[in-house]
Amino acid sequence: MVFSSLTFLFLYFLIVMLIYKILPFKFRNLWLFIVSLFFYGWGEPKYILIMVFSIICNYFFGYKVKDEKGKKYLILSIIFNLSLLGFFKYTNFIVSIINSIGFNINVSTIQLPIGISFYTFQMMSYPIDVYRNEADTQRSIVNFGAYVTMFPQLIAGPIVRYKDIALQLENREESLTKMYDGIKRFMVGLSKKVLLANNIGYIWDSIIVTPIGEISMLNAWLGIIAFSLQIYFDFSGYSDMAIGLGKMFGFEFLENFNYPYISSSVTEFWRRWHISLSSWFKDYLYIPLGGSRISQFVTIRNLLIVWTLTGLWHGASFNFVLWGLYYGIVLIIEKVFLRKYLKENIISHIYTLFIVLIGWVLFAITDFDLMFKYLRAMFNFNNVIDKRAISNIMNYWFIILIGIIGSFPFIKEKTTKILEKYEWIYPFLVAGSLILCIANIISSSYNPFLYFRF
């Protein structure tokens, strides 16, 4: 089954790219629009109509925000987009809260469309950018549809804002060099995902299903370190694949990760992790609320609002709300008290990694009872080490080491210098990586994309 799906995707992309290159430029966005809708519909055909309806509405809002009632239509567009996202993502959550206080509302479980958080934010950026005069109104609904549905980044980002790609929809450079660069970038991402994230993910999955009373302190730390590496290589790998595929079609997407685990503060971490989401909230919410310009009280209020909503964006669950508030409070403490003490040194790095690892516990575990028991296990000096921890270290030390090394930029810097000198090695590395990735996919049924659920 895995092999047949992989074969289908490979043939699908090959045919898409071949026809794309044959078509005159004026038809290429239409082709991208059609094949992207088909790609999305292959996974969830019933949600295509919702996506098309949303595209039509936002295309209309983009036109109307430029007239004399522009602000009114801007507000309508925000309400429309957030209502659509809210219905699919939060209805079940809200009903469960209401029922928990004594009501008995029966609602059929609403399935979350894949990638709705990503493409809703993309569509929201269009009328906002046009209203702010940061982009021109898009006259072609085909071009706008291609922007929204573009399959390289449709399902799990990065969140591509309209103003960053508006000109490329009309005119973009396509060359063999860009195609080659795109293939290399795609293979880097695929290798991160399949060879690193999937294999490191086994460690976390095996530890989190262990009876919580039997998890030693060492094993608890090993587990959350494994999860932190898994989610990094999973999501940054997908972002690399999306950027690489975009290059193959002539598009330049902005970077989404910049080695976040080398950060010297949590503030810096969020400038390096999921950059497209952090910058979206900053430009479209934090700064319009006043940012940090007005007063310390307003700054604290804005950070709490932004990070509560950031947590909710990630999922309709109280653990994500807690996770968002956790980071909001940490960032407030940094901004008000710690900023002058956080320098580029080992103590600041250790502090940042500690805060981030605790944060991943809040993110990864939805059950509060299990979450707090896991946190206690991380500081249980009565059970520091056990046979399971030793066994896990013996079995997985190499993949963990590779993951840690791969999280730092010096490896990329070294390999880039070598490969610039011996450019002829690249095709062999790409082919070898592809063979290894295919072999891993075929031999394993474990192939989660962690951010697909958002």
pTM of the model as a whole: 0.90
Q: Per-residue pLDDT tens for 66-84?
A: 877 789 999 999 999 999 9
d(CA 239, CA 253): 9
* C-beta of residue 166 within 8 angstroms of C-beta of residue 136: yes
Nearest to 234 by CA among 454, 419, 435, 33: 454
Per-residue pLDDT band at 366 (split at 50, 70, 90): very high
Measure CA of the first residue to CA of the last residue in the chain; give whole Å.
Answer: 25
Report whether pLDDT(56) > 90.
Answer: yes
Report whether pLDDT(428) > 90.
Answer: no
Q: Half-sphere exposure of 221 toward its Cβ, with a 13 Å CA cutoff?
A: 15
Q: Note the residue count of the chain.
A: 454
Per-residue pLDDT band at 156 (split at 50, 70, 90): low
pLDDT value at position 3?
45
Helical pair 2-22 and 426-443, crossing angle rounded to 10 deg: 140
Question: Residues with catalytic annotation?
Answer: 314
d(CA 281, CA 287): 9
353 phi/psi in degrees, rounded to 5: -65, -40
DSSP state of 240: H
